[in-house]
Amino acid sequence: MQPEGYRTYVPKPLPPNPPIDFDSSMLSILSQADRNLGRLSGATETLPNPDLFVFMYIRKEAVLSSQIEGTQSSLIDLLEYEAGARLRGHPRDVVDVSNYIDAMNHGLGQIARGRELSVALVQEIHARLLSRGRGSSHSPGELRSVQNWIGPSERGIEDAAFVPPAVPEMRKALDDLERFLLTERSLPPLVKVGLAHSQFETIHPFLDGNGRMGRLLITFLLTAEGYLERPLLYLSHYFRQNRSSYYDTLQAVRDEGDWEGWLRFFLKGVDEVSRQATETAKRIIQLREEHRRLIQNAMGRRAGGALILIEFMYQHPMVSVNDMQRVTGLSFPSANELAVELEGLALLNEQTGNRRNRVFAYRPYLDIILD
């Protein structure tokens, strides 16, 4: 009980005590999630350029994770923003999503250079996550120095759904979490990641951005653990589809110590998302081969430039004619003619409706990503 009359929750250090009950049901879910995550990693290696797949998946995750926090921007809005096209939707929201991508890429880059996933690195990533737009006035990169709570903003802390630990206990809990992340070697990696995500959300160490930071942590941990060669696992879509279960199972850990219930939910998500992403990778491979054949058979001498452009659009599926000119080395009129011909083959769609400064989308590819 705090002097002000409200109660805060102080999490016990990880790993849980009593230990996780790895009964036959838990082991079955864990084995299936582990197996399908491995299949995803293998399937993406058959892509002509796996990094292009990762490039778009990071953007999809950025949009979905930000939407959980109330943003309205879509993946199309983000791609238009990156292509320098008109912003049809919510510019401020698009900045939030762009921040997420920057934070993701910075964290992955630091881990690839050998940095440990410490509290200091988490703060550094958080500073980028909230560098602009909403949340930029909420001390980006700084641990909170006041009490926060989870609940309707118009109501007080007394009516909160959950009150994280007070500042002194928060700092100790965060130190304990860092120690767990850097030293725990006995638990299966997916279990370690699930425990860490739950604990981070319970500690809630920042004034804003805790949910997005906690979801980023999942990808960073799997990469830092060497469990994934590339950052391929993104659970925001699963959390969003199962929002009530997500919050309920996290709260059951706090109220009842039900780590097993949370882990079953988390591992089921890993399993589902891995299988969906594997199927997406296979569809992209099939699409690429179909479109390469179509271009080679239908475009004659223009096929070379068209193949270069389409390959580029697996990473940048929305481009201007100026971009096309730069990528293919063609003149502006020739690049414009190439775009029109590809539009006639139903490979590209013009997005702006303008006669000048036109932007084209590789819509069949986007339809797979958006599915």
Instruction: Please report the pLDDT score of residue 87 as a whole number.
Output: 45
Q: Give pLDDT tens digits for 146-188.
A: 999 887 666 678 778 889 999 999 999 999 999 999 999 999 9
Instruction: Please report the pLDDT score of residue 86 as a whole number.
Output: 52
Instruction: Please report the pLDDT score of residue 3 as a whole number.
Output: 54
Instruction: Please report the pLDDT score of residue 77 as a whole number.
Output: 83
Q: For residue 259, which amino acid is it? A: W
Instruction: Please report the pLDDT score of residue 136 as a whole number.
Output: 83
Residue whose tokens read 């197996």: 35
Q: Give pLDDT tens digits for 10-28.
A: 999 999 999 999 999 999 9
Residue whose tokens read 């949340």: 135
Residue whose tokens read 């469990």: 227
Q: Is the peptide bond before 189 cis (omega within 30 degrees of 0)?
A: no
Its pTM stands at 0.90
Q: For residue 221, which amino acid is it? A: L
With a cut of 50, list the residues of the chain below it in pLDDT. Answer: 87
Instruction: Using only the alpha carbons of the chain, give its radius of gyration.
Output: 23
Instruction: Please report the pLDDT score of residue 154 as a whole number.
Output: 64
Q: Is 370 left (phi over 0), alpha (psi -120 to 50) or beta?
A: alpha
Q: Give pLDDT tens digits for 322-343.
A: 999 999 999 999 999 999 999 9
On whether the CB atoms of residues 58 and 101 are closer than 8 A, the answer is yes
Question: What domains can you pick out in the chain, each with its CATH number?
Answer: 32-279 (1.10.3290.10), 299-370 (1.10.10.10)
Q: What is the DSSP letter of 159?
A: G
Stated length of the chain? 371
Q: Round to whole Å and give the CA distance between 194 and 191.
A: 5
